[in-house]
Amino acid sequence: MNIERAAFIPYFYQMKEDKLLAISPQVLIPPQILSAYGFSATISITPHGTGLINHTWIVRNDKDTYILQQINAQVFAQPQLIADNIEMVGHYLADHYPTAIFPRPIKSLAGQTLINTGDNSYYRLFPFIANSVSIDVASTPRQAFEAGRQFGGFTRMLADFPVEHLHETLPHFHDLSLRYHSFGEALQNGSAPRIDKAAPIIDYLQSQSGIVTQYENILTNPGFKRRVTHHDTKISNVLFDKQGNGICVIDLDTVMPGYFISDVGDMFRTYLSPVTEEEKDVEKIQVRQEYFEAIVKGYMQEMKDILTPEEQQTFVYAGEFMLYMQALRFLTDYLNNDIYYGRQYEDHNYVRALNQTTLLQRFQEQSPRLQTIAADIAASF
Ligand code: GN1
Ligand code: MG
């Protein structure tokens, strides 16, 4: 494919009245980005992944394969902080764990790891890890176990890294008190018809505000430590080899100081159900206990000597914490007319909020059993 043409293929589309319309502004790769990395002659560019925030492409030339990403600068106000964090973590791992695989950004011909095209667009290029496979939905407990090991291993390897040196790339990202506050503001100022439509979900989430209180207790409990936390532990952020073993974690944009409940909780949120947050049929939403067990085992295998006794008793709360936060975030965005997550159809964020609220309820129904499973695993190490 000719680069000039490839660079102008619009990437994001939405369905409207059965027609495909390009979302405006179209997401294009400026040719200057491709030349900054010395891409010439023939390359191919394919959209990649399902992330809601950044835009990602696979770029292939006759020699190699790369991942090119545009950072959403509306969300990440200071993309340079991400680049600095990745640099610090990359150096530390190279010094202390030289065999650990860690995809670091490739420098442009001018030596930059992040290119600003001047219009508040930022791009970076990563090597594509050879023979790696990524998946969008966990379909075996083994995949959940491997992911648990990878995210646990990441935090373990960085246990002695000075966590306070990391920048907060998204300040207050997993601050549940703030998310609850924003939800309250949306109830005051959001769309009245949408508030009406969502009344049952709103009532349920308000009735569960004890989850916020528990979070606030964690903040003042010395048994909970701030550690290097990934903050986006969906299964597509783990690379697997062809035999199904985890290779490494990717997408370090939200690596920041945080609590282990963020990483473990987001694994529960995204691997326990056989269907994703996009599923409209709530009957299909389930909590698969064997996946819960696999995540806890994988994570504990790496973190057993690092997690405090208090933390080891908090696995089940981690799931409630993340499910509650994501339900609040989707619902808040729905009430605010879809300004953050965007939408592909009218009630998209309502569907996502209902999905996550349903999964929270199913998780809570099973929590006594899950508590026993987690306690048995902790005792077995
Ligand atoms: C966003 O872009 P993506 O899909 O990796 C969001 C996460 C949410 C997720 C829900 C920076 O992640 O926090 O859990 O959507 N990331 C940001 O799908 O807001
Ligand atoms: Mg992400």
Ligand nearest to the CA of 50: 1
Sheet holding 65-71, edge to edge: 44-47, 55-60, 65-71, 122-127, 115-116
Structural domain boundaries in the chain: 2-77+103-130, 135-380
**DSSP annotation string for 278-303:** T---GGG----HHHHHHHHHHHHHHH
Which element (helix H / strand E) includes 21?
strand 19-22
pLDDT value for 25: 37
- Residues of the chain predicted below pLDDT 70: 1-28, 41-42, 50
244: left (phi over 0), alpha (psi -120 to 50) or beta: left
Q: 2 CA distance to ligand 1 centroid (A)?
A: 33
Q: Which ligand is nearest to the CA of 76?
A: 1
What separation in Å is there between the alpha carbon of 209 and the centre of ligand 2?
26
pLDDT (0 to 100) of residue 85: 96
Question: Computed from CA positions of residues 161, 170, 271, 241, in that sequence, does the dihedral angle turn out positive or negative?
Answer: negative
Atom of ligand 1 nearest to the CA of 72: 11
Nearest CA owner, ligand 1 atom 7: 232
Topology of the domain covering 135-380: Aminoglycoside 3'-phosphotransferase; Chain: A, domain 2 (3.90.1200)
Among candidates 272, 265, 262, which has minimal Cα distance to 230? 262
Q: Please tell me the number of the ligand nearest to residue 169's CA.
A: 1
Which numbered atom of ligand 1 lies nearest the CA of 330? 10
Residue 269 alpha carbon, nearest atom of ligand 1? 14
Residue with tokens 């985890």: 246
- State in Å: Cα 330 to ligand 2 middle: 16
Residue 213 pLDDT: 98
| Residues whose CB is less than 8 angstroms from the CB of residue 76 and which lie 6 or more positions away in sequence, other chains included | 82, 169, 170, 253
Residue among 152, 153, 81 at smallest CA distance from 122: 81
**Same-fold call for 2-77+103-130 versus 135-380:** no
Give the Å distances, CA to CA, from 119 to 28, 72, 222: 13, 12, 44
User: Given ligand 1 and candidates 54, 170, 232, 275, which is best to mutate, with the most ligand atoms within 8 Å of its CB?
Assistant: 232
Instruction: Write down the pLDDT at residue 4.
Output: 30
Q: Are 300 and 377 in contact (CB under 8 A)?
A: yes
Q: How far apart are the first and last CA of the chain?
A: 54
Q: Which amino acid would we find at residue 115?
A: I
* CATH code of the domain occupying 2-77+103-130: 3.30.200
Q: How far is the CA of 234 from the centre of ligand 1 (A)?
A: 9
Q: How many other C-beta atoms are found inside a 10 Å radius of the C-beta of residue 176?
A: 24
pLDDT at 42: 64
- Among residues 340, 379, 363, 341, the alpha carbon closest in space to that of 264 is found at 363
Residues 338-379 have pLDDT tens digits of: 999 989 999 999 999 999 999 999 999 999 999 999 999 999
